[in-house]
Amino acid sequence: MSSEEHIEKKLKALGIGRFQVMALLQAARHYIFHKDLDKAKSFGLNRAIFYAWAKYYGPHKWPIRLMRVEEALRRQARGVGSVKCPEGYVEVLGECIAVSPRGYYMIGDQEQLPIDYDRQVTKKLKPLLDPEKAWKVALEYVSSFPDYILRDPQKFYKYVYEPVRDSFFRELITKGKVVPPKEVIEKLKSLEEMIKKSKEKQKSIFDYT
């Protein structure tokens, strides 16, 4: 058995997988902009639960309230007017999320607390790697992406989370760091070039005077 296979076996035995990667990277994403570790942990766990639940059940099983949230986000993505989140939700990094009176993020009536994050992420990592090291690496990895990627939930999922969802902890253990795959870097370069060209084509008010 190779060292990588051995690591994968340990990760599986400890119940460490995509859920923990999502929670960790989302927490780092939130922390980069808001610098509040407790709220970042709440956000990270909230998003990990949300995406796991949504993937498992699919849109046809979503309650009416959640469907309204998703419709608001779709309208926002299409640039259809000014979009407000449904009552009881606030916009956080491009997503509508319920927030408790204490300021923690919620799904249903359940707060996602820092202690819950530590139980589902931090404590699971401890037998295999240093959680502080994992947090530092996550911050460095997420910080390597431009703000416009991090502020857009769909781009964050596609470019930041998805390429490393099955390799993040393995790379962290074997290499001590995690960097964006080359193909992602190339895609981002192409995307930024398209954005640049699009801006160059836009006429300013001075072009009409």
pLDDT of residue 85: 80
The model's pLDDT over 54-101, given as tens digits with 9 standing for 90+, comes to 776 555 444 545 545 555 544 544 444 445 787 788 899 988 899 999
Helices (H) and strands (E) in the chain, counts: 11, 4
Rounded CA gap, 30 and 156, in Å? 12
Examine the pLDDT at 19 and tell me if it is beyond 50. Answer: yes
Prediction pTM value: 0.84
Under the banding of pLDDT at 50, 70 and 90, the label for residue 194 is confident
DSSP structure class, residue 65: H
The percentage of residues in the chain with a pLDDT greater than 90, rounded to a whole number, is: 64
Under the banding of pLDDT at 50, 70 and 90, the label for residue 207 is low
Examine the pLDDT at 18 and tell me if it is beyond 90. Answer: yes
The model's pLDDT over 159-187, given as tens digits with 9 standing for 90+, comes to 999 999 999 999 999 999 999 999 999 98
Rounded CA gap, 175 and 66, in Å? 40
pLDDT of residue 125: 97
Examine the pLDDT at 206 and tell me if it is beyond 50. Answer: no
pLDDT of residue 208: 42
- Higher-confidence residue of 109 and 135: namely 135
> What's the burial of 179, exposed, middle or buried (CB within 10 Å: 0-12/13-18/19+)?
middle
* Tokens encoding 38: 């407790």
